[in-house]
């Protein structure tokens, strides 16, 4: 017998009285009933100063306002060998501003997560937007119960559509029924019955139906409106039964109190189903359009009730095509007419009931459970630990060695304007001036060093790179200039798309990691002004560079919805390119190869990690794996794609000129793949590529001077290029920093207990 599948549910749980608790309990039971090989458990949310007699399947209670409970719950799930977690998300059931304490649990959780969104706001506050966006980012799959939910998540919150599953609210499997039989069993024989069920609160719109009852009674004098359900516990604690008393008084003033019956108790499921079975018309008169799901509507609709409802989101989808009647919000006249018409037309009511019942067969819990199991299978595939070692064939040759950072040549290439573009041998070549490409790379290097806690690039030097980028910005065109003469005169009004994207990349890194707070704010503001134009770009590399910048910018500015959407758009564009071009064993974005090829793969991998979209990661890794086959010589060493005409489709890659920018891009991409997969074969690939700098290349010569940190500009067919320009030294130094930081991450750290003993 195979190992049982263990599923944990996080949310409110019975006997707590609320819709989320009912849903959690029902879904848990349905999943357990889907197979004898499934075991379910619940992590229950407990509201302040309350206690509940939870059933045995509740293995832990999270006290809503206790932050440490969320971390403890994550530890229990991580250590409990659970295969999947089903999170019920509703802003109000978790502690912290807009329930952000749940993020503490998700940040520590190492189990695939499927999150069901019970509320999705079309006009969220910045805090609500941040919380739901982060919940979705930490989730491997996101479930909504209506297509409107999918649209809102993609348009408002930037969640990638392929990550979202639409699964309806579950319902019990009951046969199509005769209301008259059910009425007779409960003493309501002969009376036309109208029913509303749910926890009583002001947003339910009960007043509208009470106001409609005089019109209903004129056509159906024996009609009875039953309001079934206890007062919402929160409302009860705050106001007692004043709201219910007000409804009773309203019915008395209208003279319909004899036709309105309040049943003030939280009913069990069999009782609820009995009441639904005997109603002639079910009414959900909610006052708020932004009602993404309604369990009461799902139950009554799925059992074949004739439904009259206001047009909130869930109702609009469920009741279309003649499966129910929609009336305007708060319109007692329209509500009364709709109810009276249905009660007065048995044939129309029966036809509507049959259409609803037939449509509801896809909503029964056994079917919904299978859909959740499918979603959990996708979540497991998308979980990072599942991306493992069969992706590359290289073997780990040696542990990473920390490479000493020498900045002598780099500093010699810089002046008050910035970094000079080219060199003759090791002497800066002023005749070619400067470019924003290299000054952006220099700003990127400074940011990487700051993030790593490295010193060596002074604040004044970093300020000169930032000033160059600021001066390169042309507000008239909304683009960055690229080339500047040594006389500080711009040689163009705007640079290439790639130079613009590379500058955004540097600004993103500066926004996140620069040591100077005012400079971080400057970088963030300039990034925000310069990012939108990239939507018009056609260059895949410009999109990739922009994505790398967005990776850092969005971490520093999680509330920038435009940036989040831009990130998804650029990533999807690269995905479209790959789908159109790839065939057979060839996985790439273009018909040929050119420069900084691996940045395209790296951008998708990091974007996938930051947004939790497995498809981005998967495509990034598959394209990088293919690229590595093109960048490996017969002898096994790294061979950069040559820039002498680049690679043409159907022909072997050009062997020369090989440049440092290719090695650095490949190292960064391999380290990103390692971050995604924890597969040390990618570390081996990064090491093998770094060795290209130090002599493991086609000419067997080192390109770097270990004393000054200079780097030759590459390999010609017959010799190394003896010039040592800005791009080469910057690429080499960036790779040194990235290799060193990965080495630190791999270094074992003493457990806290042992550290305390030693200290």
Cα separation, 454 vs 37, in Å, equals 53
Instruction: Determine the pLDDT at residue 391.
Output: 29
Instruction: Give ranges for CATH 3.40.50.2000 in the chain.
Output: 5-169+368-385, 179-360
The yes/no answer on whether domain 5-169+368-385 falls in CATH 3.40.50.2000 is: yes
Q: Nearest Cα to 506, choosing from 449, 561, 459?
A: 449
Label residue 402 by pLDDT band (50, 70, 90).
Answer: very low
Q: Nearest Cα to 447, choosing from 608, 567, 555?
A: 555
Instruction: Determine the pLDDT at residue 651.
Output: 58
pLDDT digits (tens, 9 = 90+) for 426-452: 999 999 999 999 999 999 999 998 887
pLDDT digits (tens, 9 = 90+) for 640-696: 888 765 555 555 667 788 999 999 999 999 999 999 988 889 999 999 999 999 888
Q: How many CB atoms lie within 10 A of CB 533?
A: 17
- For residue 35, the Cα-to-chain-centroid distance in whole angstroms is 30
The interaxial angle of helices 598-611 and 561-581, nearest 10 deg, is 130
- Percent of the chain clearing pLDDT 90 (strictly above): 68
Cβ proximity of 742 and 683 under 8 Å: yes
Cβ proximity of 472 and 506 under 8 Å: no
Mean pLDDT score across all residues of the chain:
88
Instruction: Determine the pLDDT at residue 400.
Output: 42
3-state DSSP percent of the chain in helix, strand and coil, to 5: 50, 15, 35
User: How would CATH label the architecture of 179-360?
Assistant: 3-Layer(aba) Sandwich (3.40)
Q: Which residues contact 555 (CB under 8 A, 6 or more apart)?
A: 512, 610
Label residue 747 by pLDDT band (50, 70, 90).
Answer: very low
Tokens 């005409």 sit on residue: 645
pLDDT over threshold 60, residue 749: no
Beta bridge partners of 484: 434, 490
Instruction: Give ranges for CATH 1.50.10.10 in the chain.
Output: 387-746
How many Cα atoms sit within 13 Å of 136 on the Cβ side? 33
Q: How many CB atoms lie within 10 A of CB 292?
A: 19
The mean pLDDT of 302-316, rounded to a whole number, is: 92
The mean pLDDT of 227-252, rounded to a whole number, is: 89
Cα separation, 506 vs 513, in Å, equals 10
CATH of domain 387-746: 1.50.10.10
Cα separation, 69 vs 96, in Å, equals 13
Instruction: Determine the pLDDT at residue 43.
Output: 97
The mean pLDDT of 533-540, rounded to a whole number, is: 95
Label residue 114 by pLDDT band (50, 70, 90).
Answer: very high
The mean pLDDT of 502-528, rounded to a whole number, is: 95
pLDDT digits (tens, 9 = 90+) for 327-377: 999 999 999 999 999 999 999 999 999 999 999 999 999 999 999 999 999
Cβ proximity of 480 and 494 under 8 Å: yes
Check the CA dihedral 555-556-558-562 and report its sign: negative
How many Cα atoms sit within 13 Å of 370 on the Cβ side? 5
Cα separation, 619 vs 748, in Å, equals 31
Label residue 383 by pLDDT band (50, 70, 90).
Answer: low
The DSSP code for 169 is P
Cα pseudo-dihedral 50, 51, 55, 61, rounded to 10: 70
pLDDT digits (tens, 9 = 90+) for 131-153: 999 999 899 999 999 899 999 99
Instruction: Determine the pLDDT at residue 441.
Output: 96
* Structural tokens at position 277: 């079975």
Label residue 399 by pLDDT band (50, 70, 90).
Answer: very low
Instruction: Determine the pLDDT at residue 497.
Output: 95
Cβ proximity of 454 and 408 under 8 Å: no
Min mean pLDDT across 281-295, 307-321, 710-724 is at: 281-295
506 burial level (CB within 10 Å; 0-12, 13-18, 19+): buried
């Amino acid at each position: 017998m195979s190992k049982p599948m263990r599923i944990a549910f996080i949310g409110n749980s019975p006997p707590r009285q609320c819709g989320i608790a009912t849903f959690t309990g029902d879904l848990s039971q349905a999943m357990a009933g889907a197979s004898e090989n499934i075991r379910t458990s619940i992590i229950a949310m407990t509201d302040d100063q309350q206690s509940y007699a939870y059933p045995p399947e509740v293995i832990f209670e999270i006290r809503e306002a206790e932050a440490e409970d969320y971390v403890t719950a994550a530890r229990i799930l991580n250590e409990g060998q659970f295969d999947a977690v089903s999170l019920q998300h509703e802003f109000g059931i978790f502690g912290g501003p807009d329930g952000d304490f749940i993020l503490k649990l998700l940040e520590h959780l190492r189990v695939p997560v499927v999150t069901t969104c019970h509320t999705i706001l079309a006009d969220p506050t910045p805090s609500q937007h941040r919380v739901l966006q982060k919940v979705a980012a930490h989730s491997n799959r996101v479930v909504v119960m209506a297509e409107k939910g999918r649209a809102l998540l993609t348009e408002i919150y930037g969640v990638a559509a392929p990550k979202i599953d639409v699964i309806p609210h579950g319902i019990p499997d009951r046969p199509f029924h005769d209301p008259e039989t059910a009425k007779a069993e409960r003493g309501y024989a002969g009376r036309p019955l109208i029913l509303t069920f749910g926890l009583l609160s002001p947003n339910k719109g009960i007043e509208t139906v009470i106001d409609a009852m005089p019109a209903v009674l004129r056509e159906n004098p024996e009609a009875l409106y039953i309001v079934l359900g206890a007062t919402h516990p929160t409302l009860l604690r705050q106001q007692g039964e004043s709201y219910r008393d007000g409804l009773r008084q309203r019915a008395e003033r209208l003279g319909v109190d004899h036709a309105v019956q309040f049943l003030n108790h939280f009913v069990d499921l069999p009782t609820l189903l009995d009441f639904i079975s005997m109603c002639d018309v079910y009414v959900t008169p909610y006052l708020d359009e932004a009602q993404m799901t309604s369990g009461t509507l799902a139950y009554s609709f799925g059992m074949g009730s004739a439904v009259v409802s206001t047009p909130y989101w869930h109702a609009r989808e469920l009741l279309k095509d003649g499966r129910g009647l929609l009336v305007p919000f708060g319109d007692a006249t329209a509500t009364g007419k709709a109810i009276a018409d249905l009660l007065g037309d048995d044939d129309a009511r029966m036809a509507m009931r049959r259409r609803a019942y037939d449509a509801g067969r896809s909503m029964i819990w056994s079917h919904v459970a299978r859909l959740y199991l499918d979603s959990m299978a996708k979540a497991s595939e998308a979980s990072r630990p599942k991306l493992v070692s069969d992706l590359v064939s290289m073997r780990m040759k040696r542990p990473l060695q920390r490479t000493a950072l020498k900045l002598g040549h780099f500093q010699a290439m810089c002046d008050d304007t910035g970094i000079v573009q080219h060199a003759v041998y090791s002497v800066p070549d002023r005749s070619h001036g400067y470019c924003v490409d290299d000054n952006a790379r220099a700003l990127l290097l400074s940011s990487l060093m700051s993030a790593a806690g490295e010193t060596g690039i002074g604040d004044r030097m970093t300020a000169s790179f930032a000033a160059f980028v600021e001066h390169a910005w042309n507000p008239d065109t909304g683009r960055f200039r690229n080339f500047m003469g040594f006389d500080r005169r711009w040689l163009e009004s705007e640079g290439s798309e790639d130079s613009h994207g590379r500058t955004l990349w540097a600004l993103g890194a500066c926004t996140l990691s620069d040591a100077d707070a005012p400079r971080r704010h400057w970088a963030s503001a300039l990034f925000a002004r310069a990012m939108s134009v990239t939507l018009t770009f056609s260059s895949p590399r410009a999109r990739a560079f922009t994505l790398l910048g967005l990776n850092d910018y969005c971490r520093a500015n999680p509330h920038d919805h435009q940036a989040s959407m831009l990130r998804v758009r650029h990533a999807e564009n690269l995905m479209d390119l790959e789908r159109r071009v790839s065939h057979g064993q060839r996985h790439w974005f273009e018909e040929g190869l050119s420069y900084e090829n691996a940045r395209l793969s790296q951008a998708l991998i990091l974007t996938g990690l930051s947004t939790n979209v497995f498809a981005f990661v998967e495509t990034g890794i598959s394209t990088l794996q293919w690229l590595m086959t093109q960048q490996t010589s017969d002898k096994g060493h790294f061979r950069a794609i040559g820039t002498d005409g680049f690679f043409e489709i159907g022909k072997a890659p050009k062997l020369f000129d090989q440049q440092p920018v290719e090695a650095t891009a490949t190292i960064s991409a391999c380290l990103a793949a390692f971050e995604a997969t924890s597969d040390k074969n990618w570390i081996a690939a990064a090491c093998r590529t770094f060795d290209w700098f130090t002599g493991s290349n086609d000419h067997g010569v080192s390109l770097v001077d270990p004393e000054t940190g200079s780097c030759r500009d590459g390999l010609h067919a017959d010799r190394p290029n003896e010039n040592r320009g800005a791009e080469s030294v910057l690429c080499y130094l960036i790779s040194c920093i990235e290799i060193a930081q990965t080495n630190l991450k791999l270094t074992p750290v003493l457990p806290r207990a042992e550290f305390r003993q030693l200290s």
